[in-house]
Structure 1
Amino acid sequence: MVKIAVAGGSGQVAREVIDTLLATNKHYIAILSRSEASLKDAPSGVRWRVVNYDDQGDLVEALRGTHTLLSFLQLLSDPEGRSQKNLIDAAIAAGVKRFAPSEYGSAGTINMPWWAGKENTREYLRKVNRNKKVLEYILFQPGLFLDYLAFPYKTAKHVDPLQSVFDYYNGRAIVVDGHEDAIMTLTTVGDVAAIVARAVDYEGEWPEIGGIRGNRVTFSQVIQIGEKIRGRPFTVDNAKKEDLESGTLNTSWALEKRHPAVSEEQYAGFGKTVSIGILLSSIKGACDVSDELNQLFPDYSFNKIEDFLTRVWKGKP
């Protein structure tokens, strides 16, 4: 049994991981949070610690005795990654052995400005380990949550439904014209949480890149599976690459559902930005994640896209 600290532990993905870790009944878990307002939401069996991410001494004290630190800090409000850099410095000072920064998405971040903070953190981790490894770390990268293809239906306990460029409910999709073979990696939230829990228990050294490949499929395959499950042809909007590069989205629809981490002020035009970013980044290989953790845990059986979505959409209008 080791002590695990979870930074940003009140977030949706964090809570999925915490629940899975608690179910193993193996570890002491401490949640680090900026606010006491979330104390009522603390799962039983964990300790809640309010911290100031700008106070190095406070962070070091909170991390004393921690073996593994998992970060789920929100990056939109801190694109420079200052809070996460402070967390890394404090982890090193406190003698934390392992660290996982706030990732849980694509391998690349090109054309995705809302994830700029990830690149800053990746570079900082390389910097602190440049001369010798002072902090073991892993980048958990599962691609896009497969659960989002169930929108508007909720398929995870904590993670809310979100739209994607594949709209199974309305039978429509957006692709980049001529790039229908672009690769998407789609992994369920449950599978991600299960693999993270296994990685926490893993006694060997973590790989720096922690690819989690639930399903590796092309855009056209995702659409074909949708048409089969929904029993009707999809309407496909073909966006021109040159239009997308210029910031233009000439399609009949775009993402409208606001992520809870995005404020009302931030959301103006955000759906369009995310639509363009997902489309452009996917044709540049950002969503084709590696499979290091599949190889590390070869006995784990991932949810297959067609089976999962068939169960979700059975009997749905």
Structure 2
Amino acid sequence: MPTVLLAGASGDLGERIATALVARGATVRALTRSGASVAKTAHLESLGLQVVAADYADAPALRAAATGADVVVSALAGLRPVVLDAQTQLLTAAVSAGVPRFIPSDYSADYRRLPAGTNRNLELRREFMTRLDTAPLQATSVLVGAFADMLTGQAPLVLFGRGRVLYWHDADQPLDFTTKDDAAAFTAEAALDPTTPRFLEVAGSTVSSRDLARTMTELTGEPYKPQYAGGIGFLRTIARVGKLASRDRTALYPAWQGMQYFDTMFSGDGTLQAVDNDRYGVRHWTSAAEVLAAR
């Protein structure tokens, strides 16, 4: 089985990817920064990972960590210093070490068609794409839409107990959702597949706000209805105002960034185009309805 160098293994999605890779028999090296705590190292080792320490600014150490790997998988999360700077250093090390394949930390909606200025986090991924596409190795991005787990958490789309599901512009706009576990499992399969194309797209569910309202009505027995929250222009305006008023530009998911994600979804700019769920065989994908039912 291939050897995988995994960056970001201690993060939420990264740990799920690590677990999925180990379950499939891969040898997984978890890249940590030097000076990582004993508890963190012990936890990663308990998952069956080989822990290798290297700072991203230490090119020789990073190259040594990548040497012998068949693929580098990034699950790094952050803003420009991470998504661009650290990932570029990781990419440089992979090329220098002769690693043939690289999977960047995308796991998102399709950022390729986004208008400039409409989604800061995804535009950083698009900027890294331009660097990755000039590198002499095989790159594969995994696009999953939005994480379905957020329907019951961070994304205030379903107004529980209030009988409403928000929408902007169009209550019937298709929205792509994939759970983190499903995204991690598919990424593990892709990491072990040397024939992957440049982009792979998967979605556990593609549903609209109207569909979600119907699902909530069926689950709760209470009437849920789509609630118009404004047009795309309004959404972009409040996101822009929120960004200008924000004092903390280092937060990964401030409220205005959440508005930008809704823009990406409800405008259709980030909608997946060629879903390939069955690439590794027919399997069960956790639906948005199952996520809501488990709440």
Report the TM-score, using the length of structure 2 for normalisation. Answer: 0.85
* Poorly superposed stretches of 4+, deviation over 4 Å: none
Counterpart pick for 1:89 among 89, 92, 115: 92
RMSD, aligned α-carbons: 2.8
CA distance in 1, matches of 2:23, 2:55: 29
Structure 2 residue runs without a partner (length 5+): 243-247
Report the TM-score, using the length of structure 1 for normalisation. Answer: 0.79
CA contact (8 A) 1:28 1:46 kept: yes
CA distance in 1, matches of 2:229, 2:217: 17
CA contact (8 A) 2:4 2:72 kept: yes
Counterpart pick for 2:280 among 297, 303, 309: 297
| Shift in alpha-carbon separation, 1:73–1:275, aligned structure 2, 3 A | closer
CA distance in 1, matches of 2:291, 2:253: 32
Partner amino acid, structure 1, of 2:6: V
| Shift in alpha-carbon separation, 1:234–1:48, aligned structure 2, 3 A | same
Find the counterpart in structure 1 of residue 27 from structure 2.
28
Find the counterpart in structure 2 of residue 173 from structure 1.
165
Q: CA deviation at 1:67?
A: 0.4
Q: CA deviation at 1:287?
A: 3.8
Matched residues, number = 282
- Structure-to-structure mapping, 1:76-115, within 5 angstroms: 76=79, 78=81, 81-108=84-111, 110=115, 111-115=118-122
Q: Are 1:13 and 2:13 counterparts?
A: yes
Find the counterpart in structure 1 of residue 60 from structure 2.
57
Q: CA deviation at 1:145?
A: 1.4
CA distance in 1, matches of 2:240, 2:14: 33
Find the counterpart in structure 2 of residue 159 from structure 1.
none
CA distance in 2, matches of 1:268, 1:199: 27
Find the counterpart in structure 1 of residue 149 from structure 2.
147
Range moving further from structure 2, 2-11 or 105-114: 105-114
SS of residue matched to 1:127: coil
| Shift in alpha-carbon separation, 1:74–1:68, aligned structure 2, 3 A | same
- Structure-to-structure mapping, 1:177-196, within 5 angstroms: 178-196=169-187
SS of residue matched to 2:51: strand
CA distance in 2, matches of 1:16, 1:69: 16
Range moving further from structure 2, 164-173 or 185-194: 164-173
Q: Are 1:274 and 2:257 counterparts?
A: yes
CA distance in 2, matches of 1:126, 1:169: 47
Partner amino acid, structure 1, of 2:285: F
Structure 1 residue runs without a partner (length 5+): 129-133, 152-161, 255-263
CA distance in 1, matches of 2:200, 2:64: 28
